């Protein structure tokens, strides 16, 4: 029998409606895969076995009656940032210990209304603050991908012989160690990306504040789209930086991402930043010609020290779109170089404000103190992890008297200039912008260089933060493998609320690049 977990959402939808399989069978296949693999991958922080079976049973009943919703019977994983009624929702933070909301986020409510089945809650960087999924209170998520071969550089080894270098036999042993090194899946939506890549859910919800959908998608060979700010409701989603956060899907391919976003997106009276615009049938855009479309190539994204593999991938993507009939035009986004520093002022400032509510008084962790102020301090000291504390302190500093004008207001002015750069390019007739998704492939868990220098970690977002600062849609598509067999992605950036063009163009890239799957070593 076909491995049901290998079915895309589109393929599973067809089989469910043709009654070739049932949602119960599909759900059991995923639950079995999770039970086998999650102790290794650590993608789920809780698995809702009973709830999944109940939802699958209800879906089968609706399918039998011909009342199927758009996602009827499709098992999904939900990032731990989305409130799920009566189910663990902790943003993977100790400070929210034991919290189970009495309400449902709008995004997940939309999915359940369309018949989707919840498999459980997915691991993530604490409060979505991170680029590697290593800041989670529940430990790091492990990327399902492995290096296919060792790097060829000769380096000193703890097993080195005379002269500090390894012999041929020792080199082989060292190569195996390098090959088997655990890699990060990216963050903050690392659990979502890893679960999709490892066939532990058909698709997953995710959120993107500075690249947290697109970067992990690129690291895991999956497709991730951050829609235009306001396309998906933020109600019931734990806030990191309110003016930047946006929900979106991570999926196996472009079609599945289009199907998921159609269900996730909606206007919401409970979220005044959600936009009242019709949600198009994104799937219908796939397969449409891109002939005559103008694709912009921004010179500012050719950063110093960018690996040749990334540059070569970018050139390949340009060639694919040109072969499909698109017109390639060079463009300039001059304020791009200021995006990352401006982002790391705006985002921590908003985080400092949003996270002030976690004080041990109303819900979650409480550490007793000699008075209420001492209780606040002890609770927050014990409840927040190192990276969250770092960003709260930065944010509090830039919002403080004497520094608000010098830092925060200046960063917001830069943000306006970044947005204007994009507007001028789109007004000049460019339809979509093509860039790399990340500056490298996935790096190792507990990478010493990354963990010793937070700035190096923050640089993973160098190609993605501009999209959030300008409120634009962006999609990451798998486009190739690096020299070690790890996935690399390309990013497409579109006009506001023109996700259809992104899906249409991304599908062309996907068809040219082919599909990429990791070799199963985890179950």
Model confidence at 246: pLDDT above 60: yes
175 pLDDT band, cuts 50/70/90, is very low
165 pLDDT band, cuts 50/70/90, is very low
Q: What tens digit of pLDDT does each residue of 107-116 get? A: 999 999 999 9
Model confidence at 314: pLDDT above 80: yes
pTM of the entire structure? Answer: 0.92
Structure tokens at 473: 């849609």
Using DSSP's 3-state secondary structure scheme, residue 325 falls into coil
Q: What tens digit of pLDDT does each residue of 116-134 get? A: 999 999 999 999 999 999 9
Model confidence at 447: pLDDT above 90: no
The per-residue pLDDT for 43 is 98
* DSSP track, 260-312: HHHHH----TT-TTS-------GGGGTT---TT-EEEEEGGGS-TT--HHHHH
86 pLDDT band, cuts 50/70/90, is very high
From the list 93, 188, 189, 263, the catalytic residue is: 188
Structure tokens at 74: 């499709």
Compute the distance between CA of residue 276 and CA of residue 337 in angstroms, rounded to an integer.
33
Distances (CA, A) of 106 to 266, 277, 351: 8, 16, 21
Q: What would the mean pLDDT of 148-167 be, rounded to a whole number? A: 36
Compute the distance between CA of residue 344 and CA of residue 299 in angstroms, rounded to an integer.
23
Distances (CA, A) of 170 to 179, 182, 348: 14, 20, 46
Structure tokens at 238: 């734990």
Q: What would the mean pLDDT of 236-242 be, rounded to a whole number? A: 97
What do you get for the CA distance between the two ends of the chain, in Å?
A: 18
Q: How many residues does the chain have?
A: 523
Place of tokens 């999915």: 111
Model confidence at 508: pLDDT above 60: yes
448 pLDDT band, cuts 50/70/90, is low
Model confidence at 275: pLDDT above 50: yes
Model confidence at 162: pLDDT above 50: no
From the list 79, 121, 226, 294, the catalytic residue is: 79
Sheet holding 327-331, edge to edge: 44-47, 117-122, 75-79, 203-208, 246-251, 223-226, 474-481, 487-494, 432-436, 294-298, 327-331
The per-residue pLDDT for 180 is 56
Compute the distance between CA of residue 136 and CA of residue 133 in angstroms, rounded to an integer.
6
Model confidence at 166: pLDDT above 70: no
When mean pLDDT is compared across 17-21, 306-310, 463-467, 489-493, the lowest value belongs to: 306-310
Q: What tens digit of pLDDT does each residue of 40-56 get? A: 999 999 999 999 999 99
Model confidence at 149: pLDDT above 90: no
Model confidence at 339: pLDDT above 50: yes
Cα 61 versus chain centre, distance? 33
For residue 330, count CB atoms less than 10 angstroms from its CB and return exposed for 0-12, middle for 13-18, buried for 19 or more: exposed
Tell me what the pLDDT averaged over the chain comes to.
Answer: 92
Compute the distance between CA of residue 457 and CA of residue 282 in angstroms, rounded to an integer.
33
153 pLDDT band, cuts 50/70/90, is very low
Structure tokens at 44: 């789920």
Q: What percent of the chain has pLDDT over 90?
A: 87
Model confidence at 405: pLDDT above 80: yes
Q: What would the mean pLDDT of 154-182 be, rounded to a whole number? A: 39
- Assess whether 93 carries a catalytic annotation: no
353 pLDDT band, cuts 50/70/90, is very high
Q: What percent of the chain has pLDDT over 70?
A: 92
445 pLDDT band, cuts 50/70/90, is very high
- Assess whether 332 carries a catalytic annotation: no
10 contacts 257 by C-beta, under 8 angstroms: no
* DSSP track, 440-486: SS--BTT-HHHHH-HHHHHGGGTTTHHHHHHT--EEEEEEEE-TTS-
From the list 23, 212, 233, 263, the catalytic residue is: 212
Model confidence at 498: pLDDT above 70: yes
Helix (H) or strand (E) holding 30: helix 23-41
- Assess whether 212 carries a catalytic annotation: yes
Please report the domains of the chain, with CATH numbers, ordered by start residue: 1-152+167-523 (3.90.1300.10)
The per-residue pLDDT for 406 is 87
Model confidence at 176: pLDDT above 60: no
């Amino acid at each position: 029998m076909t491995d049901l977990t290998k079915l895309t959402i589109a393929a599973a939808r067809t089989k469910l409606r043709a009654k070739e399989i049932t949602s119960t069978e599909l759900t059991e296949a995923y639950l079995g895969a999770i039970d086998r693999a999650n102790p290794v991958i650590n993608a789920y922080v809780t698995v809702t076995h009973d709830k999944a079976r109940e939802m699958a049973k209800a879906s089968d009943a609706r399918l039998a009656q011909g009342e199927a919703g758009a996602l009827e019977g499709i098992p999904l994983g939900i990032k731990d940032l989305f409130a799920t009624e009566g189910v663990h929702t902790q943003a993977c933070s100790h400070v929210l210990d034991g919290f189970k909301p009495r309400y449902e986020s709008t995004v997940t409510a939309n999915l359940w209304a369309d018949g989707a089945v919840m498999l459980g809650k997915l691991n993530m960087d604490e409060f979505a603050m991170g680029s590697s999924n290593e800041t989670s209170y529940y430990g790091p998520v492990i990327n399902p991908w492995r290096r296919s071969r060792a790097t060829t550089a000769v380096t000193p080894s703890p097993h080195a012989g005379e002269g500090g270098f390894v012999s041929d036999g020792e080199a082989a042993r060292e190569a195996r160690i390098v090959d088997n090194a655990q890699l990060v899946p990216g963050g903050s939506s690392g659990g979502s990306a890893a679960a999709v890549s490892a066939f532990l859910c058909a698709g997953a919800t995710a959120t993107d504040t500075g690249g947290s959908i697109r970067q992990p998608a690129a690291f895991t060979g999956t497709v991730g789209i951050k829609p235009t700010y306001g396309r998906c409701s933020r109600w019931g989603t734990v806030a990191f930086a309110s003016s930047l956060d946006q929900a979106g899907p991570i999926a196996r391919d472009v079609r599945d991402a289009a199907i998921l976003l159609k269900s996730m997106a909606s206007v919401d009276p409970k979220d005044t930043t959600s936009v009242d615009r019709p949600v198009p049938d994104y799937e219908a855009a796939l397969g449409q010609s891109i002939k005559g479309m103008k694709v912009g190539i921004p010179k500012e994204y050719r950063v110093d020290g960018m690996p040749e593999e990334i540059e070569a991938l970018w050139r390949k993507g340009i060639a694919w779109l040109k072969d499909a009939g698109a017109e390639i035009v060079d463009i300039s986004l001059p304020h791009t170089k200021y995006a990352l520093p401006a982002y790391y002022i705006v985002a921590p400032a908003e985080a400092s404000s949003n996270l002030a509510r976690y004080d041990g008084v109303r819900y979650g962790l409480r550490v007793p103190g000699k008075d209420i102020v001492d209780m606040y301090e002890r609770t927050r000291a014990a409840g927040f992890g190192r990276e969250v504390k770092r960003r709260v302190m930065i944010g509090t500093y830039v919002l403080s008297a004497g520094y608000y004008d010098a830092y925060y207001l200046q960063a917001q002015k830069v943000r306006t200039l970044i947005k204007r750069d994009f507007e001028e390019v789109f007004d000049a007739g460019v339809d979509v912008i093509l860039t790399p998704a990340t500056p490298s492939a996935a790096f190792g868990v507990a990478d010493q260089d990354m963990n010793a220098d937070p700035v190096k970690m923050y640089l993973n977002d160098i190609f993605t933060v501009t999209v959030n600062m300008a409120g634009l849609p962006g999609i990451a598509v798998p486009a190739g493998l690096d020299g070690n067999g790890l996935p690399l992605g390309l990013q497409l950036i579109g006009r506001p609320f023109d996700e259809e063009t992104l899906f249409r163009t991304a599908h062309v890239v996907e068809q040219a690049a082919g599909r990429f799957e990791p070799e199963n070593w985890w179950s």
